[in-house]
Amino acid sequence: MLRLLLTLLLLLPLATQASEGEYFITAKPAEQVSLLEGWAAQPDAARLPLLDNLHQGRIAEGDTRKLRLNNRLRGLLENTLASHQLLSDVAKVRLAAAQQLQKSAQPAQVAFLDRRYAIEADAAVRAALGLVLANLQLAAPEPSVRLAAVRLLGETGDPMARTRLEALLEPGVETDTNVRTAAETSLAQVKRKLLFGELLGQAFSGLSLGSILLLAALGLAITFGLLGVINMAHGEMLMLGAYATYVVQVLIARYAPGAIEFYPLIALPVAFAVSAGVGMLLERTVIRHLYGRPLETLLATWGISLILIQAIRLLFGAQNVEVANPAWLSGGLQVLPNLVLPYSRLVIIGFALFVVLLTWLLLNRTRLGLNVRAVTQNRNMAACCGVPTGRVDMLAFGLGSGIAGLGGVALSQIGNVGPDLGQSYIIDSFLVVVLGGVGQLAGSLWAAFGLGIANKLLEPQIGAVLGKILILALIILFIQKRPQGLFALKGRVID
C-alpha cells in the first residue's frame, strides 16, 4: 500500500519536473539564479533527479543538449542539491549535504533548515546541521540565539568560522557584551585548532616531499653510492619508469579497460624491467669501460642522458603525456576541517618506505646483495674469492636503475611526465645521496626526509624561491664541515 502511494507520488511530479528542466535550460542566467535560489529555500524530493542531472550538465538522461553553467550557477546548484539531499533517507547523504551547506547556506534557507534540525534523528547529521544554523544565526536578532551560535562555532576547527567570528568582532557589529566575550573565547579556540591543523599539514607536506626525494634518490644511492658511478643518466631512468607507466596505461585502456583502475600496480614490474634492462645495457656497453675514471663517466653518462631524452622526444613527442590518477589515488582524506591528506601522497609515502625495505632486504639478506657489498668494498679480493665481479656490477647497476624506474611510477602520479622529467630530479637526487653519506642506504633515508621537512618548514616563511636557495647554501656549508655526509662508513672499507 505504502509502495503504491509512493509510486503515485513519484509519478505525479514527473511531468512538472520535465517542464521545470525545459524551463531551466532555456532561461536566462539571471532567471536560472532565482530559480535555483527558490528551489533551495523550498526543497521538494521529487526535484532531486532533475538537480542530479543538472549537476552533470544536462536536463535529463539521454538528453543531448549541453547545459552551459558558469561557476556562480554551479555553486548555487551545489547548494540547492545539498538542500534537497537533506530530505534523503540515507544518513550519509544527509551528512554530506549538511557539510556542503556549512559553506554555502543562505539566510533564505533558515526556515527549512530549522524544520530539518528539529526532526533530524541521526546525531552526526544533527550536529552538522546545528553548525549550518549557527553560521546563519550569527545575524539573528535575539542575543541568546547569537550567544548559542557563537559558542557552537567555537567548538569547530572550521577556517570559515574564524572569518565569521572575526567579522562579528569588528567594532560596532556585535553590541551585546555577553556575546562579544563569548565570541572572543570562541575565536581563540578556533585559532588554536586551526594552528594545530596547519602544523600537522606542514609536517605531512615535509614527509611527502621527503618520500618523493627518497624515491628519486634511492636508485642513485646504489649506482653512485655503492658502485661509485657518477651517473648523470639517473634522472632518465626515472623518466623511463614514468613513460613505462604511461605505455602500460595506454595499453590497458585499449585492451583491458576493466583493469584500468589498477594500472599503476601493473606498471610497477614493467617499469622496473624497462629501467633495469636499459641500465644493464648501458653498464655492459659503456660504463664498464669507464670504471675508475670518474670524469669520463660523468661526461659519458651525461651524453647518454641527452640521447635518452631526445630518443623519448622522437618517440612520444616533446609534449608531456597524460598519466591519469586512478580513482583510488585521487582526492584526499579529510582529517581536520583545514587538513586534507591526498591519497596519492599517502600511498607514495608508504610505497617509498616499502621500496627502502625491499632494497635493504636485497642488499643484506640475499646472495646478490652479499656479492654487491663484497665487490664494492674490495673488488680485487672479491674477484679472488670467485665473485664474478663483472656480472655483479651489471646486476647492481640494473638494480639501481630498476629502483629508479619504480620511483618513476610514483612520480608519474604526482607530477609531469615529459622528456625532461629526469632533469628536475637529478640535482635533488645527488643532494640526497651526498648529504646522506655515499654508500649508505640509511643516510639517504634520513637525508631525504630531513631535506623534505626543512624545505616545507622554510617555504611558508620565506617563499619557494628563497627557500630553495637557502637549503642549497645550508647543504654546501654542511658538506664543507662534514664531507663524508650524515652517515659515513667506518673503518678500512673505503679505499
Partner 1 sequence: MNRRSLIKAFTLSASIAAMGLSWSIQAAETIKVGILHSLSGTMAISETSLKDMALMTIEQINAKGGVNGKLLEPVVVDPASNWPLFAEKGRQLLTQDKVAVVFGCWTSVSRKSVLPVFEELNGLLFYPVQYEGEEMSPNVFYTGAAPNQQAIPAVEYLMSEEGGGAKRYFLLGTDYVYPRTTNKILRAFLHSKGVADKDIEEVYTPFGHADYQTIVANIKKFAAGGKTAVISTVNGDSNVPFYKELANQGLKATDVPVVAFSVGEEELRGIDTKPLVGHLAAWNYFESVQNPVNTQFVNDWKAYAKAKNLPGADKAVTNDPMEATYVGIHMWAQAVEKAGTTDVDKVREALAGQSFKAPSGYTLTMDKTNHHLHKPVMIGEIQDDGQFNVVWETEQPLRAQPWSPFIPGNDKRPDYAVKGN
Q: Please give the angle made by the CA atoms of 416, 287 and 421, to the nearest 5 degrees.
A: 5
Q: Which of residues 67-96 bind partner 1 (CB under 8 A)?
A: 68, 70-72, 74-75, 78
Q: Which residue has the cell 647554501?
A: 473
Binding flag, residue 1, partner 1 (CB under 8 A): no
Task: State the minimum distance, in angstroms, from the CB of residue 468 to partner 1.
Answer: 6
User: Which is closer to partner 1, CB of 109 or CB of 338?
Assistant: 338
- What does the DSSP assignment read for 105-120? --GGGHHHHHHHHHH-
User: Which is closer to partner 1, CB of 192 or CB of 391?
Assistant: 192
Please give the Cα distance from 225 to 436 (Å, whole number): 10
Q: How far is CA 34 from CA 39, 80, 232, in A?
A: 8, 11, 62
In this chain, which of 13, 49, 143, 201 binds partner 1, going by CB under 8 A?
201
Binding flag, residue 257, partner 1 (CB under 8 A): no
User: Which is closer to partner 1, CB of 194 or CB of 363?
Assistant: 194
Binding flag, residue 302, partner 1 (CB under 8 A): no
Task: State the minimum distance, in angstroms, from the CB of residue 430 to partner 1.
Answer: 16
Binding flag, residue 55, partner 1 (CB under 8 A): no
In this chain, which of 42, 330, 364, 366 binds partner 1, going by CB under 8 A?
330
Task: State the minimum distance, in angstroms, from the CB of residue 424 to partner 1.
Answer: 5
Binding flag, residue 163, partner 1 (CB under 8 A): yes
User: Which is closer to partner 1, CB of 107 or CB of 331?
Assistant: 331
Beta-bridged to residue 336, according to DSSP, are: 339
User: Which is closer to partner 1, CB of 200 or CB of 383?
Assistant: 200
User: Which is closer to partner 1, CB of 69 or CB of 488?
Assistant: 69
Binding flag, residue 131, partner 1 (CB under 8 A): no
Backbone φ and ψ for 469, nearest 5 degrees, come out as: -65, -45
Interhelix angle 234-255/177-220, nearest 10 degrees:
100
Task: State the minimum distance, in angstroms, from the CB of residue 223 to partner 1.
Answer: 23
Beta-bridged to residue 192, according to DSSP, are: none
User: Which is closer to partner 1, CB of 382 or CB of 458?
Assistant: 458
- What does the DSSP assignment read for 285-314? HTGGGGTT-HHHHHHHHHHHHHHHHHHHHH
Binding flag, residue 465, partner 1 (CB under 8 A): yes
Please give the Cα distance from 161 to 420 (Å, whole number): 44
Cα dihedral value 102, 106, 110, 114, nearest 10: -20
In this chain, which of 88, 106, 185, 325 binds partner 1, going by CB under 8 A?
325
User: Which is closer to partner 1, CB of 200 or CB of 489?
Assistant: 200
Rg of the chain taking only CA atoms, in angstroms: 30
User: Which is closer to partner 1, CB of 341 or CB of 392?
Assistant: 341
Q: Note whether 309 and 422 are within 8 A (CB).
A: yes
User: Which is closer to partner 1, CB of 131 or CB of 363?
Assistant: 131
User: Which is closer to partner 1, CB of 220 or CB of 375?
Assistant: 220
In this chain, which of 125, 209, 215, 267 binds partner 1, going by CB under 8 A?
209
Q: Please give the angle made by the CA atoms of 199, 203 and 208, to the nearest 5 degrees.
A: 145
Joined together, the cell numbers standing for residue 343 give 591519497
- Binders of partner 1: how many residues, by CB under 8 A? 60
Q: Note whether 277 and 355 are within 8 A (CB).
A: no
Per-residue x/- track, 143-162, partner 1 (CB under 8 A): ----------------xx-x
User: Which is closer to partner 1, CB of 47 or CB of 345?
Assistant: 345
Residues 6+ apart with CB under 8 A from 247: 270
Task: State the minimum distance, in angstroms, from the CB of residue 408 to partner 1.
Answer: 14
In this chain, which of 44, 52, 63, 198 binds partner 1, going by CB under 8 A?
198
Binding flag, residue 468, partner 1 (CB under 8 A): yes
Can you say whether the dihedral through the CA atoms of 198, 200, 201, 207 is positive or negative? positive
Binding flag, residue 208, partner 1 (CB under 8 A): yes
Please give the Cα distance from 227 to 374 (Å, whole number): 11
Please give the Cα distance from 382 to 367 (Å, whole number): 13
Binding flag, residue 106, partner 1 (CB under 8 A): no
Q: Note whether 356 and 218 are within 8 A (CB).
A: yes
Binding flag, residue 350, partner 1 (CB under 8 A): no
Q: Which residue has the cell 633495469?
A: 276
Binding flag, residue 34, partner 1 (CB under 8 A): no
Backbone φ and ψ for 490, nearest 5 degrees, come out as: -100, 155
Long-range contacts from 93-100, C-beta under 8 angstroms, 24+ separation: 94/120, 94/122, 94/125, 95/122, 95/124, 95/125, 95/128, 98/125, 98/128, 98/129, 98/131, 98/132, 99/128
Binding flag, residue 416, partner 1 (CB under 8 A): yes
In this chain, which of 25, 41, 110, 324 binds partner 1, going by CB under 8 A?
324
Q: Note whether 429 and 217 are within 8 A (CB).
A: yes
Q: Please provide the size of the chain in residues.
A: 495
Binding flag, residue 338, partner 1 (CB under 8 A): yes
In this chain, which of 88, 378, 424, 484 binds partner 1, going by CB under 8 A?
424
| Residues in touch with partner 1 (CB under 8 A) | 29, 68, 70-72, 74-75, 78, 103, 159-160, 162-163, 198, 201-202, 204-205, 208-209, 212, 310, 313-322, 324-325, 330-332, 334, 338, 340, 342-345, 414-420, 424, 455-456, 459-460, 463-465, 468
